[in-house]
Amino acid sequence: MDKFIRQTNEAVLDLLGNQILFSGLDEQEISMFIKYAAPVYLSIEEGQSFSLPNEYMHMICLVLSGSISIFSVNYDGSRSVIKYIPYGESSGIIYSMLEYYNTIFELKAKNNSEIMLINPDKIFVTDQKLCAIQHKIAVNLIAVQKRVLIEISEHLACLSQRSIKDKILKFLQISCEKTHSYELDLPFSREELANYLAVDRASLSRSLSELKKENIISYKKNHIVILDARSFKFQ
């Protein structure tokens, strides 16, 4: 597909030095690996959605600039938020080192975004000249995947709550603990948050209104303030 650029892009080498995937590697080592891996690059404009073709679904995704949301698309066309990768966390955030079969993935750019896709075989199938570099990258990949597993656990904790209000409160509690603040700007739109929590958008809005009337939270658009913090204790 002409939307993907398959080349060794020297311009991105400076950006890769801060990626967790390449932690501990010098510029020459990164350059050697990139030339060997021949990754593909994808540009997505702000607000644009793009479905990944089958041949790219198993690849490791690095966000070089901008921010994206990753969705899984069900057979009926409904979408579920899997992960949000913001600009501030784009260094080293890798979504998948696993292969997904019979699953459609869609990327949506929050703003103009540049993405690199790397075939995991270029890491796990060793090359004699690059085995030391590949080993370092594989270790870094395991460290990043630990973060991904934590995020999956947090998502399951939200989904396991019985009521929509409890799902919202659990999500807000986890978000507050990460930022150590009782104020936060949601990374999701209202529709995306409903998808993330696996609830109907109208029901989500109704539950948010109830929490506001109960003086547990206040909000304006995506900015939320926790007013009753008894359930939001953190150190």
In angstroms, rounded to a whole number, what is the distance separating the alpha carbons of residues 17 and 51? 28
pLDDT reading at 66 higher than 60: yes
10-30 average pLDDT score: 81
User: At a CB cut-off of 8 Å and minimum separation 6, what does 152 contact?
Assistant: none
Confidence tier at 159 by pLDDT (50, 70, 90):
very high
User: At a CB cut-off of 8 Å and minimum separation 6, what does 54 contact?
Assistant: none
pLDDT of the residue at 97: 41
pLDDT reading at 154 higher than 50: yes
Query: Hey, what domains does the chain have and what are their CATH numbers?
Result: 4-153 (2.60.120.10), 161-226 (1.10.10.10)
Q: What is the mean pLDDT of the chain?
A: 81
- The residue among 154 and 92 whose pLDDT is bigger is 154
Confidence tier at 54 by pLDDT (50, 70, 90):
confident
pLDDT reading at 134 higher than 90: yes
In angstroms, rounded to a whole number, what is the distance separating the alpha carbons of residues 223 and 186? 6
pLDDT of the residue at 47: 85
pLDDT of the residue at 111: 83
Summarised one tens digit per residue, pLDDT across range 77-131 is 677 777 777 643 433 334 444 445 556 778 888 888 888 888 888 998 989 899 9
In angstroms, rounded to a whole number, what is the distance separating the alpha carbons of residues 53 and 92? 23
- The residue among 218 and 76 whose pLDDT is bigger is 218
In the chain, % of residues over pLDDT 90: 28
pLDDT of the residue at 216: 92
Confidence tier at 231 by pLDDT (50, 70, 90):
low
* Tokens, residue 135: 């080993």
In angstroms, rounded to a whole number, what is the distance separating the alpha carbons of residues 145 and 175? 20
pLDDT of the residue at 6: 52
161-168 average pLDDT score: 94
Confidence tier at 58 by pLDDT (50, 70, 90):
confident
Summarised one tens digit per residue, pLDDT across range 171-188 is 999 998 888 888 999 877
